[in-house]
Homo-oligomer: A and B are copies of this chain.
Amino acid sequence: MNLDALVSAALDEDIGPGDLTTIHTVGPDRTGRAQIFAKQRLVVCGHDVAARVFAQVAERLGDEVAYRAAAPEGKEVEDQSVIAEVEGALRTILIGERVALNWLMRLSGIATHTATFARAADGSGMRVVDTRKTTALHRTLEKHAVRCGGGHNHRMGLFDGVMIKDNHIAAVGDLASAVRKVRNEVHHLVKIEVEVTRLDQIRVAVEAGADVLLLDNMDNVALAEAVELARSLKPSVVLEASGNMTAERIRSLHGIDLDVVSAGGLIHQARWVDLSLKIR
């Protein structure tokens, strides 16, 4: 579902067959200006989707509205900062307010939360990346919010990267043959990642042709050992660590030669930040 379709469905959800309050009180001739401002320190994310919300409401009603970002996407701002202004028909602003703010608050929440993880990795050479633990239909936006907060992305879905996990191996019965089967079938621009939890799996995975290893739920001692073994077997292997990652844990990983740390919590442990829209 592309962004315009998503915004349209969100408006359908909230407006349904009509806004009972605004439509009966505010005529098309009432125009003005509103400000969206932060009620806490936060990293801004979501201008594009918010702008489309107001634009679509205006189009539905035959109104005019303009959305202007006052703080750029990805910037950290202080409490009380104005992050955007909306100018035009007041009924359009009132009808779009909640849907637009909901997105800005969610996405800025993810960006703000991710920033604490990304800062923890600064200087380590590790990328902090997200996972497929995202909200249905919001994955593209949530992954954008991760980048706004200084993180990077993992694969987008099941279709643009191979990840052989414990349940796949349980279903197939044999790690090495799973890797080889996939290698034979998938196209030549896709890398194969294999989840390993024990050292003996590393050798099997690398020899079967894994390009990337997911070192899952290991403590730092095990991680260091795993990294050393994997690098000795295949220097170009990409190494990713995962498992209840926090900013503190990430800081403790500096010095272990990892390429990537993945954390679903960038997205699913983030809370909305607080924003408010006021007509001036």
Q: Which residues of A contact B (CB under 8 A)?
A: 1-4, 6-10, 12-22, 24-26, 30, 32, 34, 60, 90-91, 93-95, 97-99, 101-103, 105-106, 109, 127, 129, 132-140, 152-164, 167-168, 170-172, 178, 181-182, 184-193, 211-212, 236, 238, 240, 259-260, 268-269, 271-272, 277-279
Nearest residue in B to A34 (C-beta to C-beta)? B167
- Contact between B158 and A159, CB atoms less than 8 A apart: no
Residues in chain B near residue A192, CB distance under 8 A: 189
Instruction: Give me 7 other A-B pairs in contact (C-beta within 8 A), A13-B139, A25-B178, A161-B187 excluded.
Output: A15-B158, A20-B161, A93-B167, A136-B138, A154-B188, A160-B187, A167-B278
- Contact between B189 and A155, CB atoms less than 8 A apart: yes
Please tell me which one of the listed residues B238, B269, B272 contacts residue A188 in the complex, with CB atoms under 8 A apart. B238
Nearest CB in chain B: distance from A188 CB, A: 5
- Contact between A136 and B99, CB atoms less than 8 A apart: yes
Docked complex Cα distance between A30 and B169 (Å) = 12
- Contact between B16 and A17, CB atoms less than 8 A apart: yes
Nearest CB in chain B: distance from A32 CB, A: 7
- Contact between A164 and B102, CB atoms less than 8 A apart: no
Please tell me which one of the listed residues B26, B172, B182 contacts residue A171 in the complex, with CB atoms under 8 A apart. B26
Supposing A170-B279, A187-B155, A188-B240 touch, asked if A21 and B162 sit within 8 A by C-beta, the answer is yes
Nearest CB in chain B: distance from A27 CB, A: 9
- Contact between B140 and A18, CB atoms less than 8 A apart: yes
Supposing A24-B181, A161-B20 touch, asked if A190 and B187 sit within 8 A by C-beta, the answer is no
- Contact between A135 and B106, CB atoms less than 8 A apart: yes
Please tell me which one of the listed residues B7, B12, B20, B105 contacts residue A133 in the complex, with CB atoms under 8 A apart. B105
- Contact between B30 and A171, CB atoms less than 8 A apart: yes
- Nearest 4 Cβ contacts at the A-B interface: A161-B189, A16-B159, A10-B136, A19-B158
- Contact between A135 and B133, CB atoms less than 8 A apart: no
Please tell me which one of the listed residues B1, B4, B156, B188 contacts residue A127 in the complex, with CB atoms under 8 A apart. B188
Residues in chain B near residue A105, CB distance under 8 A: 133, 268
Supposing A188-B259, A272-B268 touch, asked if A19 and B159 sit within 8 A by C-beta, the answer is yes
Q: List 26 A-B contacts (CB under 8 A).
A: A1-B9, A7-B136, A9-B137, A10-B137, A13-B137, A13-B139, A14-B139, A16-B16, A16-B160, A21-B163, A26-B171, A94-B168, A98-B158, A102-B133, A129-B187, A135-B138, A137-B137, A152-B187, A154-B189, A155-B187, A155-B189, A159-B160, A160-B160, A160-B190, A167-B278, A191-B191
Supposing A1-B9, A13-B136, A94-B171 touch, asked if A268 and B106 sit within 8 A by C-beta, the answer is yes
Docked complex Cα distance between A20 and B34 (Å) = 36
